[in-house]
Amino acid sequence: MSATDQTEESKDMFFAEIAALAERMIAEHGRDFTMGAFVLAARFIAEKKDLGNRSLETTN
């Protein structure tokens, strides 16, 4: 398996995790909450703000 294939497989696995998380969030708290949480997370990523888990931070 090439590095590109491994990268694509890794990304696919993360998308599957995100989808599963979204489904659980929607089931428990609804679509509006879930969309808001994901938009807020995207904004924090874009602004390089702490997402609450320092072990996940990188120097990007």
pLDDT 10s digits, 11-60: 999 999 999 999 999 999 999 999 999 999 999 999 988 877 655 555 44
CB-CB contact of 52 with 46 (8 Å): no
Of residues 18 and 1, the one with the higher pLDDT is 18
Q: For residues 60 and 46, what is the distance between their CA atoms, to the nearest angstrom?
A: 11
Q: Return the closest-CA partner of residue 56 out of 6, 8, 12, 14.
A: 14
- pLDDT above 90 for 8: yes
| pLDDT given for residue 12 in this prediction | 98
CA 37 to chain centre: 10
Q: For residues 13 and 41, what is the distance between their CA atoms, to the nearest angstrom?
A: 19
| pLDDT given for residue 51 in this prediction | 78
- Residue 10's identity, in one-letter code, is S
| pLDDT given for residue 55 in this prediction | 54
